Structures are given as structure tokens and as C-alpha cells.
Amino acid sequence: MIRTLAPLHRTASRGRLLVVDDDRRAASATAQWLCELGWHASAVGRVGEALPLVAREPVDACIVDGLLPDGGADRIADALRRSSPDTALVVTLPATAAAAGLAVAADRVVRLPARDDELLAAVEQAIAGRAAGDHAVAWNLLGVSPAIRHVLDLAGRLADAPAALLITGESGTGKSLLAREIHRASRRRRGRFVEVACGSLSETLLESELFGHVAGAFTGATGDRDGKFLQADGGTIFLDEIATASPALQVKLLRVLQDLRFEPVGGARTHAVDARVILATNEDLAARVAAGTFRADLFWRVNVITIEMPALRDRAGDVPLLAAHFLAAMRARGGRAVEGFTPAALAALDRYRWPGNVRELEHAVEHAAVLGRGSLIEVADLPAAVRDGGMTPVAPRGGVEPAPGALRRALENPERRLILQALEQNGWRRDAAARALGINRTTLYKKLRRLGMNLAELEPAR
């Protein structure tokens, strides 16, 4: 793959790159490979080395390990945006890691393991995008399923659309998170994101919350108060549970959505705001219109652009990824040191239908991590509904359940054999072996380290 791409990339021979990874061997291997393709690439292992280097000699792009210790990737991102705004930032992250604050600063995020051509494309696109004054979004919505990828594709294309946006989907699917991500991906990201849970307030309080009030408007209104729409001026306002709005409030919302003008409760002055409106509901608004509880004109106003968040049961392959992310987040908050899940526990999680969707999965992982006793979460640690709905696996003959980590250890031997075979067939050249295996050199080096394979001892003497 790389050889066919190499002539194309040599056109960028004057490009300067910096690779930052605390695995110095992996960083050096990546930099050497990039130099072979015509780039001028350097490698460092610590943030303290990277920052002075960039300040002294600007580079076209930095390729940074997003999991550098002590928030190193964030520090590099902050420094680049302050002192070298033309430098593109490419962040590498495992598939299970959230992009977090890096999402705003990164021009491209490469999920590992990744192929060499994917990394190259990310670098070139990041440099081109930075030169054009644009950058891609590193979404904090994790998932590899076609359903969630479709949602993210729509979100990217609709981030700057002027019309109101309606997000539908069952409770717990992540509608609020998607709204925040759309705001963060838009040109309004420097403005405020204001969220209002319409179902949590009475009609009077909700109207005051949205539009504000003047002193004396009602008992307890001792002074003027700005509403959420005014607070969202220049940013985004997110109205959750919009189906619960009263008929009177629906009339006011219709006017606001038409011209973004409103009066505070008890006031006569009309305010005009510039805010993107995103709404969400877990109910069938068309059925509400048919039942006469939701205005048809408001429905057609909010139903112009719609994104439906998929239920977790329709996101094939995302449960293990999300479960690993929630467990890692819990450990980061100082929770019990749990390394992962037994194969049986992962199978139970994957089989369960998740009526509460992603929110229920997060709670289930937290439940298991808190109540479990071992270093791995077992089926018995999961909530009863998940255990029962996941059809606890039948024990093997003899009634002995496999020891924790048995599957992982069983898979290590064939992985070692495949790596050794690729190295032998390619003259022990690491880059060629990585290409033969369909991975990049960084991933190969990390696999070698994890498997305890010392190439200096394994490679035959010459």
C-alpha cells in the first residue's frame, strides 16, 4: 500500500512534521518512515521537548499521541493554537478513547489501529484544512456502527445550517450529547450552549426560564431576569423534551422560531436574538398532532431538519466499545482499578437489548465496577436485568468457567505466530511486516511490547 502511495506524497517533500509519542521507539519509527516518503520528520518523546522545538522551528503538522501523560496532548494543542496557528494537529487515539478537549483543537483524529495510508491521508488533509482555515471535528460520540456513523455524517453537514434542528430518539440514546457536539462543530462554538429541560418545569416557570421576566411580573419577581434565549445570543439553545410544552407556550415558541423575537414575561420590550435552536423529543410528534396536543404549524416548523438517534440495540458492535470507554472514565475518576471484562461478561452485555440505551449501559458498567471484587468484571457483577436478559452462558464440560483473561491469552499465541511469519517473510523489516499485517509501524511496535517480543533476540544473526 505504501509503495503505491509514496510517489504521490513525495510532492510534499518540503513539509516538516513532528511526531510526539512517549513510546520513543514508535515515534522514531514513524518519523523514519515519513522521511522515507519525502517528509522532513522529527520525533520526540516528551512535551518538554516538543514545545521548544515547535517554538524554535515551526512545522507543518504535529502527530501527537492523544494519551500522553499529564495532559500532554492538550498542552501541545494549546501551545500550537497560541504560538503557531498555521500548524496542523493530528491526534492518534485508541478506538475506545473519547476525544475530550482535544476535539476542538485537533484538525484530524486518527483512531488506532490505523493503516499507513489512513495516517498519511489525515496528515495531508489536516495541513490542507489548516491552510484553508477549516478543520474537522473529532466527535465525542463513540461508535463504529453504520447507524452512528450516519448520525455523525448528518451532524457534520448540518452543524452550520440556519434552520432549527429536531433530534428524535428513545430516552438515553444521547440526544443532549449530540446537540452539544453539533454546537461544538459549528461556527457558533465560541458562543454559549444553553440547555433547557422543558419537562422539568411548570408552564409559568418554563416561560420565565425561556424568555425572562421583568420585576413585578409575578409573585417573587423582585427584579428583571434574562431568559435562556437571551443568554444563548450568538450561540445555541437546546430545548429538550419539547413535546411537553403547553399549548400557550407552543404559540410563543412558534413565533420565536419564525423570527427569533420575544417579550419577557410581564414586559413590553421586544428582544431579538441570533441563536441556533435545537430541539429534542422521545415522543412521536406526528401522533401528538393527530391527537390535538401539539400544534401542527409548530410541528412543520421544527420538522424541517431531523436527526434520529439510533437505539443502542441497533448499533451493532458499539456495546463493547462504549462499555470499555465508561470503565476507563470511571477509573480516571478514581474508581476501583478494574482492568476490563471477562469474555462471558462482554457476551452478556452484547446480547442484552438495552431498553434504557446508552444511559443504561453506563449505569450497568458503574454498577458492576463498584460491586465486583476481581480485576475483571464478571457476569455475576452485572445488574440482574442484564444477566437475565443476556442469557448467562452455559459452563463448559466439567462445570468450570474459563479463568479471567483466558480468551486474551489464547489469542496471543496465534498473534505472535502471525507477526513472526510476517517478519520472516519480509526480511525482518518492520515497515514491510506492518504493511503485510495491515497495520502501521506504531501499532506493530506496541503489539511487540505487549506480547513481550524482543526482536533483538528473535531476529537470526547475520
CATH number for 274: 3.40.50.300
C-alpha cell at 47: 512535551
Dihedral angle, C-alpha 110, 111, 115, 121, nearest 10 ° = -20
- 357-371 and 318-332 helices, crossing angle to 10°: 50
Helix, strand, coil distribution of the chain in percent, nearest 5: 50, 15, 35
Task: Give 108-122 pLDDT, tens digit per residue.
Answer: 888 887 788 888 888
- Give yes or no: residues 292 and 430 share one domain: no
Alpha-carbon span 201 to 32, nearest angstrom = 60
What is the predicted pLDDT for the residue at 264?
Answer: 84
Alpha-carbon span 357 to 365, nearest angstrom = 13
Residue 243 sits at φ, ψ, to 5 deg, of -65, -20
List the beta bridge partners of residue 70: none
Q: E strands along 66-105, which residues?
A: 88-94
Average pLDDT over residues 156-180: 92
- Give yes or no: residues 396 and 411 share one domain: no
C-alpha cell at 316: 451493532
Domain containing residue 103: CATH number:
3.40.50.2300
- 430-437 and 406-425 helices, crossing angle to 10°: 120
Find out whether 75 and 82 touch, Cβ atoms under 8 Å. no
Higher pLDDT, 85 or 390: 85
For 188-247, the DSSP string reads TTTS-EEEEEGGGS-HHHHHHHHH-B-TTSSTT--S-B--HHHHTTTSEEEEESGGG--H
CA distances in angstroms from 381 to 339, 346, 386, listed in the order given: 14, 12, 10
Higher pLDDT, 181 or 4: 181
Alpha-carbon span 317 to 121, nearest angstrom = 26
pLDDT of 458 over the 60 cut: yes
- Give yes or no: residues 124 and 6 share one domain: yes
Q: Tell me if 424 is assigned to some domain.
A: yes
- Domain end: 70, 101, 131, which one? 131
Find out whether 436 and 426 touch, Cβ atoms under 8 Å. yes
Q: Tell me if 383 is assigned to some domain.
A: yes
Q: Tell me if 316 is assigned to some domain.
A: no
C-alpha cell at 449: 511490547
Q: Tell me if 315 is assigned to some domain.
A: no
The whole-chain average pLDDT of the chain stands at 81
Q: Tell me if 314 is assigned to some domain.
A: no
Q: Tell me if 214 is assigned to some domain.
A: yes
The confidence band for 9, taking pLDDT boundaries of 50, 70 and 90, is very low
Residue 358 sits at φ, ψ, to 5 deg, of -65, -35
Average the pLDDT over each of 318-327, 391-400, 440-449 and give the range with the smallest value.
Answer: 391-400
pLDDT of 107 over the 60 cut: yes
Q: Could you tell me the maximum CA-CA distance found in the chain, to the nearest angstrom?
A: 91
C-alpha cell at 131: 491552510
What is the predicted pLDDT for the residue at 334?
Answer: 67
Find out whether 362 and 326 touch, Cβ atoms under 8 Å. yes
What is the predicted pLDDT for the residue at 96?
Answer: 67
Residue 339 sits at φ, ψ, to 5 deg, of -80, -30
Predicted TM-score of the model (pTM): 0.61
- Give yes or no: residues 261 and 190 share one domain: yes
Average pLDDT over residues 128-148: 72
- Give yes or no: residues 395 and 429 share one domain: no
Quote the domain boundaries for residue 256. 146-309
What is the predicted pLDDT for the residue at 66?
Answer: 86
The confidence band for 379, taking pLDDT boundaries of 50, 70 and 90, is very high
- Give yes or no: residues 395 and 415 share one domain: no
Percentage of residues in the chain having pLDDT higher than 70:
84
- Give yes or no: residues 192 and 291 share one domain: yes
What is the predicted pLDDT for the residue at 408?
Answer: 56
Task: Give 40-65 pLDDT, tens digit per residue.
Answer: 999 999 888 888 887 777 889 999 99
pLDDT of 355 over the 90 cut: yes
